[in-house]
Structure 1
């Protein structure tokens, strides 16, 4: 992984050609969209074969697209936009996934299941520009805080450049590692910092982070004890609880909030986060709410679940939803001057700290769609269902308790 112009793809292509000249192998080259392969991977392999002086020992075919070697080695090309075609592939011992961050995780899992050629070492080579930390590549190869998975700190890779961890070889590069790139190109990448810091981080530095417009730039994490001390000093704190229901593929999120209305600060100080649990199991996990008789505002789209919790003794109420409520509720949360989250609420921090808006084909943000499905944000929406933040000009809107 690395920045623009760091010659990642070039070196992968060289590695594959050398391997196939030395050993009889069958290689699968993959991109998310098949139509992009000819002008990228196929042409690159052809260019390198000429430069290496081995072009005459290889046969480049365009229909079907493949490369044959005189020793019987072969390179075939597929797009993940047609994953069903992978099922008929056999004999593959090396896979190159170019721009792997664009490939869906389901596609990557499909490839893992196809790589099982006996008698030789099987390899998957993934090349990419690092994008958002919400991308599956970061979660799979570095860390996934929502599932308590830690493999490697990306900061360590930026420092050491090459790391072997378990069965994965990590290599980080930037344009500075490419001695053949013109200085004018490096200057263009440097100038990105002035106009687009996010793209500069990816293109010039080759680092993961936020990719897109941040939804809550005022969000910050704070030591839990400090959060609780600040809440203690709020003048008439407004305490709220919100819950978003999930099950197998989505998460249950229950948050405790404290609102400092005078200073327009939202505190998030406790979370419950789970998946693949029944309502009976969850009710046992959150039993404290039954004892304290605290009101929980929950998703009105789940009336059966709300009825169950009421029967169990919980003081749960349905939130209000309406057309455009996602957009309006998000704007409500954005009106807080600060959103301070306890460091104990690891899933809330993970979902909201780097939450970005989705964009349409014209690059315009979609105000009610995000780069991930943030269950903790839904819980906040419901918790603040009957509360309104005064606008930043201090219009003196009423507080509903």
Structure 2
């Protein structure tokens, strides 16, 4: 495989490896690579992981993200695409979530949704992917687990996108820690390795604050309001929801707080309308079913945590399915969902009917945690009065790729369909 590194990746690679592909004696203890989307952060972390393990015996390498679902869908998939195991001398032990090398080295994939799996082990090196999603205590805990002896120097590598939280303080707001190599990169710095229309598409579709933050990798552009593109013109009078539009429901279930249901429709031009809602605190199963069936059966995009049996109740997911509701697991990638909503608002493709005060107010008041009161915690939003916000995110993530036919195509007669005359005259 031919690997083409950009300038920033080359600097990092040269800091970690000497000309014999061994770990450099002057390798920094901490490397932080932060910046815009597509700037090559994940790629270089995978390169470092592979060569440290393949060139040194008995290395215990930890690669981590916040949740295992994220690890499985991104880190593990990307690693195997770059270094297919059948070609590069390692074995993927799926039962252990580990890569095993012939020389005794291991890459161990663990997530922080169960920190005990990480903080009870010792490692030679740690790769923290999308570290802005993690808590500072996760970072410090991983730092304390660097107790291995297989490498000449211990290494912790963090990468991510500019966000509020401990990472901004550590790498931007104050002097860098001792023996730390920090690189901030823009998307433009990796242009030669990106699809030709990648940057242009982002420039045309992202709001200005997102271009600064996620293309330029600018820490100072971070906003406290989550939906800073939500304007008055996105709130419109009620209008007809046409029969041929695609319709679905977003459902955020609360056991002890509000359950929120939102109704969405998408037209043939790609416009998405939030046209109705329902909410209630501690509703019963039949009440949720009745609310969801208000406009007839339709797909319901719901939080998959409902599958877990409640201590006092059971599985809400199974009970709602048994009542005939068509439930689809929501994609709960918070940062990606927020980005998608802001992108649609910037493009004027997402509209709220003006009678939905509950939904509109929650979206207007949706905020990131203020760093002054966050105890330098991880990037996160304020989890209060956001039930309809989550429901909208679930539904929009589902509906975004749905193609809606025009009325002419949707209602075009089927010339091959048999008519009554065909049956009477014996042609059917």
TM-score for both structures, normalised by structure 2 = 0.44
User: Which structure ranks higher in relative contact order (CA pairs < 8 Å, sequence separation ≥ 6)?
Assistant: 2
Q: Flag the structure with higher strand content.
A: 1
TM-score for both structures, normalised by structure 1 = 0.47
